[in-house]
Amino acid sequence: MTLPDMLQIDDLLAAYRSGDFRPSDLIREITGRIEAYQQKDPAVWISLFSTDHLLARAEELDGLSSTDLPLYGIPFAVKDNIDVVGLQTTAGCPAFAFEPSESAEVVKRLEAAGAIVIGKTNLDQFATGLVGMRSPYGQPSCVFDPACVSGGSSSGSAVSVAAGLVSFSLGTDTAGSGRVPAMFNNIVGLKPSRGVLSTYGLIPACESLDCISIFTGCVADALRVEKIAAAPDSRAPYSRSMTPHRLPLDSFRFGILPESERFFDGDAGNAALYENSIQTLMHLGGTPVEIDFAPLKEAAQLLYSGPFVVERLTALGDFYPQHKADMDPTVAGIIAGAERYTAADVFKAIYRQHGLQQIAERMWTQFDVMLMPTAPRIVTKQEVIAEPVAANSMLGTYTNFVNILDMSACAVPAGFGKDGHPFGVTFVAPAFADHDVSLLADRFHQAVGENTGAARSEPPRPVPPAEAMSPGSVRLAVVGAHLKGLPLHWQLEQEHAVLRETTRTAHDYRLFALANSVPPKPGLVREPGFVGAGLEIEIYELDSAGFGRFVASVPQPMSIGRITLEDGREVSSFLCAESVARSGTDITATGGWRAYLAGKD
């Protein structure tokens, strides 16, 4: 089998499940790709695991079932300010390098799901920059033009995905570092809500604002990775549980820049592509609403032209005064600016931040999402050398405000200019709208029809759509005795329920065979932090009256609540009181109730 140019997750999983490919075959292929790409651009990676190490990891997976792990044999890269055991963490500064004693929490969760870390990628030193030019390990190039920057600070992470070297990569995003490189390399950049992915094991830039971000070739892959990586973590001070914020996806209002605020730094082609993006979203059911950009612009200036830079100095502790001569001069100069601020200045900035957040909250009553250019335009390396701070500031025009105002965002490709350079847009929404804003971004991406990555040879795999429901109907997932052909299925038949699909839960659910239950049935419970393969379920549609009658008949210890599916959707489902469920037998490893019953025969 020949691997596709872009290593999208479902394509690799399908190859594994068909027997056409094994993880060890994949490692041999991509190590060859990496070696070849290094001849073209040697600055993508700071460190790589040896081929022997990677083959040993892959051969462990060869002996396992490809259906047991949701990221079985999927290769990924990690920005080198995130800890990975076995590789130094440098944060782009050799004098800072150290050997971590454990991997970052997100890395551990992804590896537990079957993914394979390939290596650590280059970055703007200490994640300070949007250009990808502030590293002693070299300056990665845009995959389309070696004269142009790759974008930063997550430079190598974006290139590793766009060049087809890994399926996904981890970056970080404080002011746009998970979005600007996505635009410049024609890929997807998901910036989760702050705190949804643990930052334990991340060298902070601004710890109160930092996010670990995800680069992929399609939105479906980004959502899958986020689901597996996300979990509350008491060791990360800003960790939060995701309480999904729902968006209207069929008829929605989207905020756009008024003509007077559309700044593209002279790039008329990108201005036209932004207007085309607005038209595309209107065709998808959206109504444009002009944004008052002034408070967003003020928030952006507060981040980079105010005392929040003190947080960057705080993150470095004693390292900065002792090693500033060892740092990139531009980075050192930015951090030196923190020394002029007082504690009073910092508190005043925090007060203004919260005031701007309240203004932003009121803005969401006017529209559901924002459609922003990801950046005004790409810049050349020579431009950055000539004006390192000015070029960087321009790139953050439409990204800097997002984290400081506690928003979620998903950046996707939006076409190419006549010069062959990519353009992108970012969908911005309130915190915890990660899933729905990504669905909308994916719908736009599919409508634009722009393939991702350097080769532009494969279309992005769409997020599996939820089948349209009849008015007044409800979707119900069943996990046990109500499955088709089992003893309680008649209760669904009497309400004329229609089977819509067979799918799986998200990966953090467990299933228990209940003791002394007649007829035999299981109990489903969610366990945050657990990473399994998901559990097989059936989803039925029934009218609201029938659903009400059905719910009224559900006996204790069962209840009806909301569960998350493997593709991120939520539906109503049977749940069980946790204390009762755990008194039974854990049958999660079987993959579902039907498989468990078959194994007993």
The tally of CA atoms less than 13 A away on the side-chain side of residue 130 is 30
Task: Please pick, among 47, 66, 79, 198, the residue that the annotation labels catalytic.
Answer: 79
Yes or no: say if 449 and 507 are a contact pair by the CB < 8 Å rule: no
Contact status, residue 226 vs residue 197, Cβ threshold 8 Å: yes
Nearest to 114, CA basis, from 65, 187, 43? 65
Measured CA to CA in angstroms, residue 340 lies from 334, 335, 336, 364 at distances of 11, 10, 8, 36
| Structure-token match 């890994």, residue found | 166
Write the CA distances from 371 to 268, 279, 374, 410, integer angstroms. Answer: 18, 11, 9, 10
Answer yes or no: 177 catalytic: yes
Which of 401, 402, 403, 394 lies closest to 375, judged by CA?
A: 394
The alpha carbon dihedral of 190, 191, 195, 198 has a sign of: positive
Residue of 24, 177, 408, 438 with catalytic role = 177
Residues in contact with 507: Cβ distance below 8 Å, sequence separation at least 6, in sequence order: 70, 113, 227, 228, 530, 531, 532, 533, 534, 566
Count of CB atoms situated within 10 Å of the CB of 319: 16
Residue that has been written with the tokens 């590789």 in this structure: 87
Backbone torsions φ then ψ of 243, nearest 5 degrees: -115, 100
Is 153 noted as a catalytic residue in this protein?
yes
Beta carbons of 425 and 418 less than 8 angstroms apart = no
- Taking the CB of residue 278, how many other CB atoms lie within 10 A of it? 16
Contact (CB, 8 A) for 530 and 512: no
553 is catalytic: no
Catalytic residue among 47, 150, 153, 408: 153
CA distance 54 to 118: 7
CA distance 20 to 253: 46
Active site residues: 79, 153, 177
